[in-house]
Amino acid sequence: MDTLQLNNNVTMPLLGFGVFQISDLNLCEQSVLHALNTGYRMIDTAASYGNENAVGNAIKKSGIAREEIFITSKVWIQDAGYSKTMKSFEKTLQNLNTDYLDLYLIHMPYGDYHGSWKAMEELYRSGKIKAIGVCNFLEDRLVDLILSHEIVPAINQIEMHPFCQQKKLRTVMQHYDIKTMAWAPFAEGNNGIFTNSTLSEIGAKYGKSPAQVILRWLRQNAIITIPKSVHLERIQENFMVENFELSEADISQIESMNLAESLILEIQSLDEVYRLHEIKFEQ
């Protein structure tokens, strides 16, 4: 499996398995087991998903050594701040039945994320986290975080797919050697992405689906990706993207699909700020 070296020399897989919106815990556990048996070695979850326990159970049942699996989780807005982040992190470890995380992220750029980052720096230095990063941070808040603290985020997990390629943000991230991790690589099915003519025509040349073309495009751009599915055949299909390579012409065609705007999460919208702050849960 292809890997990527982060700015602190930690190595992580370029392809992982996401569990966002898999709220049925039995289904989540089974899906993670399918992913691990298929060959995935990176699992991405979050406190707010409510399925950390299911992920932990699947990892235990898989029989795969903990050190072979790269586990990512995230701290939610309600737990922003130093003390709350410390408490949420310990609960995450309990849920996942592990004594460390490979990657821990601030889920949203709201609330006291500076306090959260201070806690995460401390946890990182103690060895309880191998790498720390953020999600959904645009240029202004990302640079503000960097200039206010000692450790530069290793990852920024952002909406990233052919219709939203985040070129301006990725340029800033590249300057600070922050790697891109793509959530919603399939745009959550928006804009007819699975039947898109450009992606279908490219895929036909290699005997691949539009989804596989997207994942290959992301991989060739050194972007970490976490596709989600609860269907075994899709889980396996998404994993089979190492045996072909897109041409420069293919990549140019995909780049031409960029609409340069979010289709899913407009992070600076006041409506989104209100909506996301209202999401509460018991971890």
Residue 78 clears pLDDT 90, i.e. is over it? yes
**Average pLDDT in the chain:** 97
Mean pLDDT value of segment 235-253 = 97
49 noted as active-site residue: yes
d(CA 199, CA 254): 7
DSSP state of 134: E
For residue 100, the model assigns a pLDDT of 98
Task: Name the residue with tokens 């290793």.
Answer: 154
Q: How large is the average pLDDT for residues 258-282?
A: 96
- CATH for the 14-277 domain, from 3.90.230.10, 3.30.70.141, 3.40.50.12780, 3.20.20.100: 3.20.20.100
Q: Tell me, yes or no, if the pTM score tops 0.85.
A: yes
Q: Averaged over 6-15, what is the pLDDT?
A: 98
For the chain, give the secondary structure using H, E and C: CCEEECCCCCEEECECEECCCCCCHHHHHHHHHHHHHHCCCEEECCHHHCCHHHHHHHHHHHCCCHHHCEEEEEECHHHCCHHHHHHHHHHHHHHHCCCCECEEEECCCCCCHHHHHHHHHHHHHHCCECCEEEECCCHHHHHHHHHHCCCCCCEEEEECECCECCHHHHHHHHHCCCEEEEECCCHHHHHHHHHCHHHHHHHHHHCCCHHHHHHHHHHHCCCEECCCCCCHHHHHHHHCCCCCCCCHHHHHHHHCCCCCCCCCCCCCCHHHHHHHHCCCCCC
Q: What is the pLDDT of residues 181-210, one digit of tens each?
A: 999 999 999 999 999 999 999 999 999 999
Catalytic residue among 40, 49, 104, 113: 49
Give residue-wise pLDDT tens across range 133-182: 999 999 999 999 999 999 999 999 999 999 999 999 999 999 999 999 99
User: Is 149 labelled as part of a ligand binding site?
Assistant: no
pLDDT digits 0-9 by tens, 93-144:
999 999 999 999 999 999 999 999 999 999 999 999 999 999 999 999 999 9
pLDDT at 1 over 90: no
> Once rounded to an integer, what is the mean pLDDT over residues 62-75?
98
